[in-house]
Amino acid sequence: MNTAAQKNELIFGYSSGNLSEAKSLFVSMYLFLNSVAAKKASIFDNILAENLVELDEVAPKKINYKDCIDAGSKENLEYKINKNYNPLTNLIGNIDKLQWKSIYKGFKEFNLPLKDSDTIKLIKMDPGTSVPLHSHNGKEYILVIDGSFCDEYGEYKKGDMQINDQNIKHHPSASDSNGCVCLSITENDVVFFGKFASILNLFTFIKSFFK
């Protein structure tokens, strides 16, 4: 499931403005952290811009050099594109100062204040912490913000994205040295497997009533 085509589809959806608020924030952070993904987004932006110009229903605005000079007025110059602009911290502030909610030892969460059908949150895993074997009823999107984690499918470092669905079962473990902070979107509840699966799934079921 974690294919380049899935990631490109997500980036294209962002460029075309067709993503939800949660996924838009998720992708904007992906582009901020991953230069390769940002270049792909730039290509998609240019393609969409060219198609927009060719639409008969959209008439390009005729401007002259004076319009360009006026656009660079003092008021407009006050807003500059900052390459260090972080869309996540712009929304929630310093990640280190968040009021994390402890789920179990070594595993914390912070729900982002967005009204969306998708659940988007930050996950913080202390060094060596792992999550029991699980899958998802819908898609799960994971973006590593800091540190790294590994599972049955590889190692994921800062700026890496993983996309999973109900066909994927994995057992993520945070790096033993730095732990891991991830931005995560889940479209539906987690389904656990293994020794304590029945208890964990019951907890997930009860928790769903308080979303």
* DSSP codes of every residue in 128-184: T-B--SEEESS-EEEEEEEEEEEETTEEEETT-EEEE-TT--B--EEBTTTBEEEEE
**Per-residue pLDDT reduced to its tens digit, 161-191:** 999 887 878 888 999 999 999 999 987 766 6
Distance (Å, whole) CA 74 – CA 97: 35
Distance (Å, whole) CA 6 – CA 50: 24
Apex 88 CA angle, 113 and 177, nearest 5? 110
Query: Mean pLDDT throughout 38-54?
Result: 85
Residue 201 confidence (pLDDT) = 45
Helices vs strands, H then E, count in the chain: 7, 10
- On the question of pLDDT at 54 being above 80, the answer is no
Query: Mean pLDDT throughout 65-87?
Result: 58
Residue 138 confidence (pLDDT) = 76
Residue 89 confidence (pLDDT) = 92
pTM beyond 0.85, yes or no: no
- On the question of pLDDT at 127 being above 60, the answer is yes
Query: Mean pLDDT throughout 99-118?
Result: 91
CA within 13 Å, CB half, 148: 11
pLDDT-based confidence at residue 7 (cuts at 50, 70, 90): very high
Residue 134 confidence (pLDDT) = 72
**Per-residue pLDDT reduced to its tens digit, 183-193:** 999 877 666 66
Residue 69 confidence (pLDDT) = 59
